[in-house]
Every structure is written in structure tokens, then in C-alpha cells.
Structure 1
Amino acid sequence: MSTMDLAAPRSPLAAPRRKGPNLEKWGWIYMRVSGVLLVFLIFGHLFFNLFLGDGIKGIDWGFVAGKLANPWWQWWDVVMLWLALIHGANGMRTIVNDYVTHSGTRRVLVWALWLAAGFLIVLGTLVVFAFDPCNGVTTDSVFWEQCQNLPAPRL
């Protein structure tokens, strides 16, 4: 038997280790932790909204207004919103990094992803905490009597 020399496998040159936090590692960990939390939050959201009470027939403007008047549900929805948007933006960032080869295009797309996620987080948080079901209700509305008994909204 003759021995055959094998050439060294081709491997890309490894970039030198940067100083500071390993953002890819922390992004990977975030995806796993937020995924588990989101499963709990989403199934809890569905359970309380659909299985308790009247089910899908019970979800209307009054149900949402009552739910968003409760601080517990406000924070539940905001945590779910923040985790889902950051989770989704981080997943899209990973896809962009994997498939976009031009560094300038990649940078623009990643910035656009984070700007869109940040805008939606701010907008969604404002909707949850500044929601006023009686805004614009007049005396001829079916909600007039209900709105007279509600406390003033907190901003």
C-alpha cells in the first residue's frame, strides 16, 4: 500500500477576533430565549382571548378596550410586541447577512430592518399605553354611557 499525501483542506482565512462583545453569539442566544418566551406569551394570549369567555364572538371593541385598560395586559402585549419584532428583525438580519453579498447593500438592508423594527416598536408601544377608547365619542354614540363611567386616560 502506498501512502498518499492529502492536500490541506481549503478554508477561508479567519478574520482576527474583534474586541468587545460577540454580537452574533448574543443574537443567537436572544433568538432561542425570545422564541421560548414568545411561545408562552402567544399561547397565553390565545388562551385568554379565545378559550376563556365567549371565544371569538366575544372579541370586539369593548373587549379590546377593557383589556388595554388593564396594566397587566398592557405589559403582556408590549413584551410580546417587543420580543416578536426584535426576534423577527434579527431573523431577517441573519437572512440578509447570509444571502446578500454586496457589503453596501447588506448594510443598507440591515439598517432599514432595524429602523422599521424600531419604528413599529415605538408606534405599537404608544398604541398600547396611550389607547383611549373614548377618544372621539359623542353623545349620539352607543359608547357614550360607558365612556362617562371610565376614569380619565393616563398618558
Structure 2
Amino acid sequence: MATTTDQQLVLARPRAPRRPAARRNNFELYSWMFMRISGMALVILVLGHLLIMNILDGGVHRINWGFVAGRWASPFWRLWDLLMLWLAQLHGGNGLRTVINDYARKDATRFWLKMALYVSMVLIVSLGTLVIFTFDPNITN
């Protein structure tokens, strides 16, 4: 009869790296800390945005070109929306990067999924930032 010491069970460790780390750094620690801090900031930014845009002063029925032009006339609201855009994109992209690392089995698949993620993040942040900074409330038809 075999004992437990005789039977060496080898179980795959979930989330264990498939290859040894080439270098040691604290990127994952900083990434984890960023997720917590940006998540708290996003709660404040998004709830404030929802309160102002959807609940106060008539709700969504008052939102039109004039409302956006009046709101973005203030640097405070442009900064608010810019922070919300950047933090939401970086927070979501970092979370998706973690999912890709956890579930993509092949190195090539992981690489191309991350490249698609990074390209889409840069495009969305660039386009959103361009709109926020170049919005002209005095446009004529």
C-alpha cells in the first residue's frame, strides 16, 4: 500500500509563469497598485459625471451642443473629462492585459492580443484627447 509520501502528486499551479522571468522588477506590483488607486478615482469621477449629466437640472433632456459647449468652456470640466477618459482607458487596458496574460496559452497569441490592445488604447486615448482639446463651441454652420 502506497503512502502519501510515496505518491508525489504534481499539480499545475494556476497563474504560475510558464517560463522563468528574464528580469526582476516591480511592474506587476505597480500595476496592481494603479488598479486600486485608479478604481477609487474613477468611482468619484464617474459618479460625479452621472450625477451632473443624468440626474441634476432636468437630466439627459437638456444635453445638446449648447450644454457641452458651456460645460467645456471651463478648464475644470475639460480636465475632469480628460482624467476620466485616461483613467478609464488605462484601468480597463491594464485589466484586459492581465486577462490576456492569464488565459492566452501561446506566446505568439499573447503577443498579438497585447499588440491589438495597446494599439486600440493609443487610438482611443488619442482621439478622445484630441476631441477634448480641439472642441470649438463657436463653430458656425
Category of TM-score, reference length = shorter chain: 0.7 to 0.9
* Pair 1:120-2:124 in alignment: yes
Q: TM-score by structure 1 length? A: 0.76
Residue segments in structure 1 that go unaligned for 5+ positions in a row: 139-155
Aligned to 2:70: 66
Higher relative contact order (CA 8 A, sep 6+): 2
* Pair 1:40-2:31 in alignment: no
Tell me the C-alpha RMSD between the 2 structures: 2.3
Aligned to 1:18: 23
> 1:98 pairs with 93, 96, 102, which one?
102
2:71 and 2:32 map into 1 onto residues whose CA distance is: 33
User: Is the alpha carbon distance of 1:62 and 1:32 closer, same or farther for their aligned partners in structure 2, counting shifts above 3 Å?
Assistant: same
User: Runs ≥4 in structure 1, deviation > 4 angstroms?
Assistant: 11-14
2:120 and 2:27 map into 1 onto residues whose CA distance is: 20
Give the secondary structure class of the aligned counterpart of 1:53.
Answer: helix
Residue segments in structure 2 that go unaligned for 5+ positions in a row: none
Aligned to 1:85: 89
Answer 1 or 2: which has greater helix percent: 2
Q: Which residue type is aligned with residue 119 of structure 1?
A: L
User: Is the alpha carbon distance of 1:100 and 1:16 closer, same or farther for their aligned partners in structure 2, counting shifts above 3 Å?
Assistant: closer
Give the secondary structure class of the aligned counterpart of 1:132.
Answer: coil
- TM-aligned CA deviation for residue 92 of structure 1: 1.1
2:136 and 2:94 map into 1 onto residues whose CA distance is: 32
Q: TM-score by structure 2 length? A: 0.83
Larger radius of gyration between Structure 1 and Structure 2:
1
